[in-house]
């Protein structure tokens, strides 16, 4: 991280304690106040770190900005970072350590849905609070869990009708990562495709370490779908886009994705390999609104970097901002008070207005459909304003069932 080394202090057990520079805290009158502690558990290293690196910095930036403005409830935020190294065993270890030893008020983090499902029971056991700043497959109903990313009832509700009805993608072939995100998202894709009168020709689940897609390419060539739906995840799966371009090509078969660009894949691929891929996202750098441009400039100034940030980076900032606003509304950082204050909490963010739906502890947001252009950027197609998490609302009501901790899964015929 290109941040001042004075901001980080080594802790026993692998954590890094982050706090704003002493001069900042002194100017804000916070130097002698008891800190509010926040854990950030992400993958600085490991095969899934392509999602984490920008989010780590965005969370740190949010903390610094709050502290420079006088802190949270007149107290500084102390951020403790743990590198889970794309290893769910470390997610379990660090979540336990954060709550028991380091006594944090909230955990932000987790990349995959499997890492989230490692953290959630630990947060329940020790009565903490968890903010998951990632798109996911939806359905988690848990008062101690706040989702700030897209769910299928937001993302796919916009993307699938556009591809099927307007681009002619009636026949789809689904490729998904082989864990709970891919398995459940593929079911949602099948449901949306079928409800629109389309056909899902096949579903294939690809282990995260697979990078040879030659057999998959051969099956695509035989099946001849109108569109390939990609719910692939991680650095190894990036190989699919290269191999697809070198063999089939997007002139012959459309590509649409639920995950493409959130790991900044388009920055690593050549422009030709990525051009034409269709996405739906809650934030991308080319959004062009004053709020988006302001966030990008502040992030670049803060980190010294000038490259693409993307949804995962912005969602970390979004999550910290929403949690901080709930703390202000509650008048306390304690989990029980914050949970009571969540419903209706809102912030104006880089992607638009974000509002917490108290029924589900998910976030209402704008969804933007875009297509990659020849310059590694994205061209806007359409924005769907203030989309609620309708899929999770169908199965979750925390007002009526506050002790529910279930993840509900869509059923298809």
List pLDDT tens digits, range 350-378. 999 999 999 999 999 999 999 999 888 89
What is the C-alpha to C-alpha distance for residues 99 and 131, in angstroms, rounded to an integer?
A: 14
Convert the pLDDT of each residue in 296-311 to its tens digit.
Answer: 999 999 988 899 999 9
Enclosing H/E stretch for 10 = strand 8-10
pLDDT at 15 over 50: no
Specify the pLDDT at position 31.
62
* pLDDT tens readout for residues 85-118: 999 999 999 999 999 999 999 999 999 999 999 9
Helices 180-195 and 152-161, axial angle in degrees (round to 10): 50
Q: What pLDDT score does 27 carry?
A: 61
Supply 105's token pair.
Answer: 């008020």
Task: Please state, in angstroms and rounded to a whole number, the distance separating the CA atoms of residues 67 and 319.
Answer: 16
CA–CA distances in Å: residue 378 to residues 110, 126, 238, 283: 26, 43, 18, 11
What kind and span of H or E run contains 215? helix 214-223
Q: Are 207 and 178 in contact (CB under 8 A)?
A: yes
Answer yes or no: same fold for 5-150+293-365+389-393 and 152-285: yes
Contacts of 354 (CB under 8 A, 6+ apart): 148, 318, 321, 322, 346, 347, 348, 363, 364, 365
Question: Which residue's entry shows tokens 């954060």?
Answer: 98
Contacts of 97 (CB under 8 A, 6+ apart): 13, 15, 82
- The pLDDT assigned to 1 comes to 33
Distances (CA, A) of 215 to 40, 141, 210, 234, 250: 39, 38, 11, 19, 18
Report yes or no: 254 and 346 within 8 Å, Cβ to Cβ. Answer: no
Q: What is the Cα–Cα distance from 188 to 152, expressed in whole angstroms?
A: 7
Mean pLDDT of 45-50: 88
- Where do the domains of the chain lie? 5-150+293-365+389-393, 152-285
Q: pTM to 2 decimals?
A: 0.91
Residues whose CB falls within 8 Å of the CB of residue 231, separated by 6 or more in sequence, listed in order: 174, 175, 176, 177, 181, 182, 185, 186, 189, 257, 258, 259
Q: What is the CATH number of domain 5-150+293-365+389-393?
A: 3.40.50.2300
Helix axes 88-100, 113-125, angle to 10 degrees: 30
Per CATH, the number for 152-285 is 3.40.50.2300
219 token code pair = 């099956």
Instruction: For the chain, give the mean pLDDT.
Output: 91
Give, in order, the Cα–Cα distances in Å from 234 to each of 177, 209, 210.
Answer: 9, 8, 10
Give the percent of the chain with pLDDT over 90. 83
Given a contact cutoff of 8 angstroms between Cβ atoms, the answer to whether 302 and 46 are in contact is no
Residue 22 predicted with pLDDT over 70: no
Cα–Cα distance, 282 to 182 (Å, whole number): 19
pLDDT surpasses 70 at 7: no
DSSP string, 336-361: HHHHHH-TT-EEEETTEEEEEETTTT
Evaluate if residue 384 carries a pLDDT over 90. yes
Q: Determine phi and psi for 372, rounding to 5 degrees.
A: -70, 140
Burial class (CB in 10 A: 0-12, 13-18, 19+), 132: buried
């Amino acid at each position: 991280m290109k941040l001042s080394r004075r901001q980080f202090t080594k802790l026993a057990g692998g954590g890094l304690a982050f706090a704003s520079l002493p001069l900042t805290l002194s100017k804000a009158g916070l130097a002698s106040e008891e800190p509010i502690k926040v854990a950030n558990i992400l993958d600085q290293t490991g095969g899934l770190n392509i999602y984490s690196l920008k989010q780590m910095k965005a969370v740190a930036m949010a903390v610094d900005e709050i502290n420079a403005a006088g802190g949270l409830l007149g107290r500084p935020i102390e951020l403790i970072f743990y590198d889970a190294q794309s290893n769910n065993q470390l997610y379990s270890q660090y979540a336990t350590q954060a709550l028991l030893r380091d006594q944090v008020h909230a955990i932000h983090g987790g990349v995959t849905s499997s890492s989230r499902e490692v953290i959630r029971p630990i947060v329940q056991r020790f009565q903490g609070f968890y903010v998951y700043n990632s798109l996911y497959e939806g359905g988690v109903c848990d008062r101690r869990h706040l989702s700030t990313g897209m769910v299928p009832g937001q993302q796919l509700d916009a993307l699938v009708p556009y591809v099927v009805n307007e681009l002619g993608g009636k026949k789809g072939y689904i490729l998904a990562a082989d864990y709970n995100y891919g398995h459940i998202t593929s079911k949602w894709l099948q449901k949306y495709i079928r409800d629109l009168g389309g056909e899902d020709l096949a579903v294939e689940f690809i282990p995260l370490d697979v990078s040879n897609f030659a057999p998959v390419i051969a099956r695509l060539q035989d099946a001849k779908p109108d569109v390939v739906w990609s719910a692939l995840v991680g650095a190894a799966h990036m190989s699919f886009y290269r191999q697809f371009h070198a063999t089939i090509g997007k002139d012959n078969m459309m590509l649409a994705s639920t995950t493409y660009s959130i790991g900044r894949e388009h920055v690593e691929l050549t422009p030709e390999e990525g051009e034409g891929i269709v996405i739906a996202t809650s934030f991308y750098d080319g959004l062009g609104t004053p709020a988006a441009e302001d966030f990008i400039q502040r992030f670049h100034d803060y980190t010294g970097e000038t490259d693409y940030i993307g949804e995962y980076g912005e969602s970390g900032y979004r999550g910290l901002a929403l949690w901080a606003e709930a703390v202000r509304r509650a008048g306390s950082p304690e989990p029980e008070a914050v949970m009571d204050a969540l419903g209706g909490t809102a912030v104006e963010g880089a992607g638009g207005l974000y509002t917490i739906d108290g029924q589900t502890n998910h976030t209402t947001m704008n969804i933007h459909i875009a297509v990659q252009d020849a310059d590694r950027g994205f061209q806007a197609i359409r924005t769907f304003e203030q989309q609620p998490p309708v899929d999770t609302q169908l199965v979750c009501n925390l007002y009526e069932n506050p002790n529910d901790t279930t993840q509900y899964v869509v059923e298809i015929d």
